[in-house]
Chains A and B, each alone.
Chain A
Amino acid sequence: MSSATDTSTDAIAGDGIVRAADGTPLKRSLARALRREKLRSFLLIAPLLAFVVISFLMPIADMLFRSVENNIVEDTIPETVQTLASWDADSGDLPDERVYAALFQDLQIAVEQRIHTRLGSRLNYEKSGMSGLFRKTGREVRRMEAEGPFKERFIEIDEDWADIEVWAVIKRYSPPYTPGYFLNAVDAELTAEGVEMKPENERIYLMLFWRTLVMSLMITLSCLLLGYPIGYLLSHLPARSANLLMILVLLPFWTSLLVRTSAWKVLLQQQGVINDFLVWINLIDDAGRLVMINNQTGTIIAMTHILLPFMILPLYSVMQTISPSYVRAAKSLGASDWTAFWRVYFPQTVPGIGAGAILVFILAIGYYITPELVGGTSGIFISNRIAYHISTSLNWGLAAALGTILLLLVMALFYVYDRIVGIDNVKLG
């Protein structure tokens, strides 16, 4: 701002150049001030930018990288990978003695470092039985003498070493980058004939993605059905009563997610409050208690409750701005209540519906906690599968690939949201 005082006393010298008070040309002086201002705002932003990049963006990038990274094969058995390069899997012959000798060398080192079992589990994702094969071979290889013929010796340990498919899998997954995890994530696999879909009974992820989308859509629709009347009521009430009723919307919004999920877990149980009440009013008998939890119903009810405020708030803010004179004008021209609502009022609320629906949908497809707790097995989402692969099956590559697909989906939806609402218009509370 210091330049502001300088430029206030412009003077035009004899050469026609406008100058600031200190004699520098005004243009240069202004440019310097602008540069300084840019630098200052950048210095203010820089710490957070660096922080978010390191603590958030780099982890995401790491995950994206892991979904294709496949160094493990080359790192564990480098000689084998090299000698295997000249072998043609389609020839119908087993690799020659050199490959087996290289495998012996590599495994000697790998067993010493105890990393051969990790390679086994990695290859097991592509062909079952590989984990056991490497474990068994690792045990035997230590006792093996360092002279040939290695081919016979390996086949003696396990006849799988005489299986061309085993070698084909090792060769196929030896490059440092692989599409294998992504193919697994969409129920496909890399075979000798190229990319193929897995057999029907092994396909789970496409079905899970589809279920996640369908259930998120149902949650979005029920949020819209319940949220629209509330938004309408709040925007048509006097400000004082609207503010009071708003508390009923904001309190759930501010209440911990775990608290709301536990409430539903308690309410929906077979021995829970809702079933007790229905039995008490004789709507159902004691034997016919409803199963509302650990299935899709539980997930949809609980998540509709949790995400409803995210639908009501944008709807309300749009409906507030709609002038009542349009509906009055329609009615004065002879429209019935329904026509005035449907043809005049409703179209004006579409931006609010769009904003709320996309927001709820984006939040729903990434949900983990609620489906995990009230979804049982039939009500879980793709997120639950990602969590399973990270913490239980330890197939991080597949978890990363599933996560990447989900992330792309959310990004695409968010792009649409940004187009409709604008990212700067996100309002809180």
Chain B
Amino acid sequence: MSSPLPPYASTLQVTWFYAFRIICGLIFFFLIFPILVIVPLSFNAQDFFTFTPEMLRFDPAGYSLKHYVDFFTNPDWQQALYNSVTIAPAATILATVLGTLAAIGLSQAHVPYKSAIMAILISPMIVPLIISAAGMYFFYSRLGLQGTYIGVVLAHAALGTPFVIITVTATLVGFDRSLVRAAASMGADPVTTFFKVQMPLIMPGVISGALFAFITSFDEVVVVLFLGSASQKTLPWQMFIGLREQISPTILAVASVMVALSIVLLFTLEMLRRRSERLRGLSPG
């Protein structure tokens, strides 16, 4: 498929070539359409979830920002936004610091029980969320952490650490150990070596791990539904409740804002990936 069709291609081959591209186009449409369609719908002047005749005629009267205004003024949504932006960063910092240290430890040459430790540290990513949520609900209730800010942060940090481990470990694979030895031979103590030599080189991995941990916490709804109380309700929680009970078009405005956020995240990660490859000399320029 990479080369254009050869001149001797039969009619059948030509037909299949274009048919295949059309099929792929339809699948891409299936992937992207549901996400893009909510953006225009969120500007609906009516409280409907479909395109009104005014919108289809591109009549300005059919469009309005009222759902966005509702999002930014309604105290319920504001509380949820506030909770989301306080819980996610705390969980991210905890997961990134602990995860980065552990990934550096795991990348050393002689680690006893390495694969067992790795399996334990990755486990929060494997276990279905509903089971993690159930277990945490039972256990955190015993500790009195159910329904507290700390409880939700701890739970989200635990769910985020596997991503930090995986991304930082991947960066460390290309890390040249002799740089550490060179720094030590020139008299740098281990702490200086870490911050001046190792840290800048593995930074792209750390940041993308942190982004994964952030999005894990920011998007997470199952655990917070069980573990949190009304005062910890986050944006996904509010959306979940909204979708289940009194569905309001404000959800579409919130969803559009979150799509914008994910586009920003996607591009940040792509930049980081390129930078990391360049630093490790895996790809030119």
Could you tell me if B266 and A51 are in contact, using CB atoms closer than 8 angstroms?
no
Alpha-carbon separation in the docked complex, A271 to B50 (Å):
7
| Residues of B close to A45: CB separation below 8 A | 101-102, 105-106, 111, 117
Size band of the interface chain A makes with B: 35 or more
Could you tell me if A62 and B142 are in contact, using CB atoms closer than 8 angstroms?
yes
Q: Is A390 an interface residue (CB 8 A)?
A: yes
Q: B120-164: which have CB < 8 Å to A?
A: 120-124, 126-140, 142, 154-155, 157-158, 161, 163
Alpha-carbon separation in the docked complex, A64 to B36 (Å):
42
Min Cβ gap A58→B in Å is 6
Min Cβ gap A244→B in Å is 11
Q: Is A52 an interface residue (CB 8 A)?
A: yes
Could you tell me if A230 and B102 are in contact, using CB atoms closer than 8 angstroms?
no
| Residues of B close to A367: CB separation below 8 A | 128
Mask of B219-243 contacts with A, CB within 8 angstroms, 1/0: 1011000100000000010011001
Closest A-chain residue to B12, C-beta based? A337
Could you tell me if A251 and B122 are in contact, using CB atoms closer than 8 angstroms?
no
Could you tell me if B239 and A258 are in contact, using CB atoms closer than 8 angstroms?
yes
Alpha-carbon separation in the docked complex, A237 to B51 (Å):
36
Could you tell me if A258 and B236 are in contact, using CB atoms closer than 8 angstroms?
yes
Q: Is A366 an interface residue (CB 8 A)?
A: yes
Could you list 12 A-B pairs, sorted by A, with CB under 8 Å? A45-B111, A48-B99, A55-B155, A56-B158, A255-B262, A259-B239, A263-B255, A265-B247, A337-B16, A368-B130, A387-B226, A411-B126
Q: Is B118 an interface residue (CB 8 A)?
A: yes
Could you tell me if A42 and B266 are in contact, using CB atoms closer than 8 angstroms?
no
| Residues of A close to B81: CB separation below 8 A | none
Alpha-carbon separation in the docked complex, A238 to B3 (Å):
9
Closest B-chain residue to A226, C-beta based? B27
If the complex has contacts A237-B2, A428-B163, are A254 and B35 also in contact, measured as CB distance less than 8 A? no
Q: Is A423 an interface residue (CB 8 A)?
A: yes
- Other-chain residue from B20, B139, B243 in contact with A58 (beta carbon distance below 8 A): B139
| Residues of B close to A403: CB separation below 8 A | 130-131, 134-135
| Residues of A close to B23: CB separation below 8 A | 229
Could you tell me if B243 and A254 are in contact, using CB atoms closer than 8 angstroms?
no
If the complex has contacts A263-B35, A429-B208, are A44 and B135 also in contact, measured as CB distance less than 8 A? no
Q: Is B112 an interface residue (CB 8 A)?
A: yes
Q: Is A141 an interface residue (CB 8 A)?
A: no
Q: Is B191 an interface residue (CB 8 A)?
A: no
Q: Is B8 an interface residue (CB 8 A)?
A: no
| Residues of A close to B104: CB separation below 8 A | 44
Alpha-carbon separation in the docked complex, A383 to B129 (Å):
9
Q: Is A111 an interface residue (CB 8 A)?
A: no
Could you tell me if A259 and B120 are in contact, using CB atoms closer than 8 angstroms?
no
| Residues of B close to A51: CB separation below 8 A | 98, 157-158, 161
A contact face: mostly helix, strand, loop, or mixed: helix
| Residues of A close to B93: CB separation below 8 A | none
Could you tell me if A273 and B128 are in contact, using CB atoms closer than 8 angstroms?
no
Q: Is A206 an interface residue (CB 8 A)?
A: no
Could you tell me if A63 and B135 are in contact, using CB atoms closer than 8 angstroms?
yes
Q: B38-70: which have CB < 8 Å to A?
A: 38, 41, 48-51
- Other-chain residue from A40, A252, A254, A366 in contact with B215 (beta carbon distance below 8 A): A254
Min Cβ gap B135→A in Å is 4
Q: Is A57 an interface residue (CB 8 A)?
A: yes
Min Cβ gap B18→A in Å is 13
Q: Is B258 an interface residue (CB 8 A)?
A: yes
Q: Is A278 an interface residue (CB 8 A)?
A: no
Alpha-carbon separation in the docked complex, A337 to B273 (Å):
37
Mask of A253-289 contacts with B, CB within 8 angstroms, 1/0: 0111111111111110101110010000000000000
| Residues of B close to A159: CB separation below 8 A | none
Given contacts A48-B98, A273-B41, A410-B126, 10 further A-B contacts (CB under 8 A): A41-B111, A55-B136, A59-B132, A251-B263, A258-B258, A264-B34, A266-B37, A386-B134, A428-B166, A429-B269
Could you tell me if A251 and B32 are in contact, using CB atoms closer than 8 angstroms?
yes
Q: Is A333 an interface residue (CB 8 A)?
A: no
Alpha-carbon separation in the docked complex, A11 to B259 (Å):
66
Q: Is B88 an interface residue (CB 8 A)?
A: no
Q: Is A247 an interface residue (CB 8 A)?
A: yes
Closest A-chain residue to B218, C-beta based? A256
| Residues of A close to B51: CB separation below 8 A | 273, 276
Alpha-carbon separation in the docked complex, A262 to B167 (Å):
30
| Residues of A close to B87: CB separation below 8 A | none
Q: Is B195 an interface residue (CB 8 A)?
A: no
Could you tell me if B181 and A1 are in contact, using CB atoms closer than 8 angstroms?
yes
Q: Is B202 an interface residue (CB 8 A)?
A: no
Alpha-carbon separation in the docked complex, A62 to B143 (Å):
12
Q: Is B201 an interface residue (CB 8 A)?
A: no
Could you tell me if B120 and A59 are in contact, using CB atoms closer than 8 angstroms?
no
Q: Is A248 an interface residue (CB 8 A)?
A: yes
If the complex has contacts A49-B102, A263-B38, A369-B240, are A414 and B117 also in contact, measured as CB distance less than 8 A? no
| Residues of A close to B212: CB separation below 8 A | 428
Closest A-chain residue to B25, C-beta based? A233
Alpha-carbon separation in the docked complex, A53 to B158 (Å):
9
Min Cβ gap A120→B in Å is 21
Closest A-chain residue to B99, C-beta based? A48
Q: A80-95: which have CB < 8 Å to B?
A: none
- Most chain B CB within 10 A, of A52, A305, A410, is at A52
Min Cβ gap B275→A in Å is 14
Could you tell me if A391 and B226 are in contact, using CB atoms closer than 8 angstroms?
yes
Q: Is B108 an interface residue (CB 8 A)?
A: yes
If the complex has contacts A52-B158, A252-B35, are A245 and B259 also in contact, measured as CB distance less than 8 A? no
Min Cβ gap B134→A in Å is 5
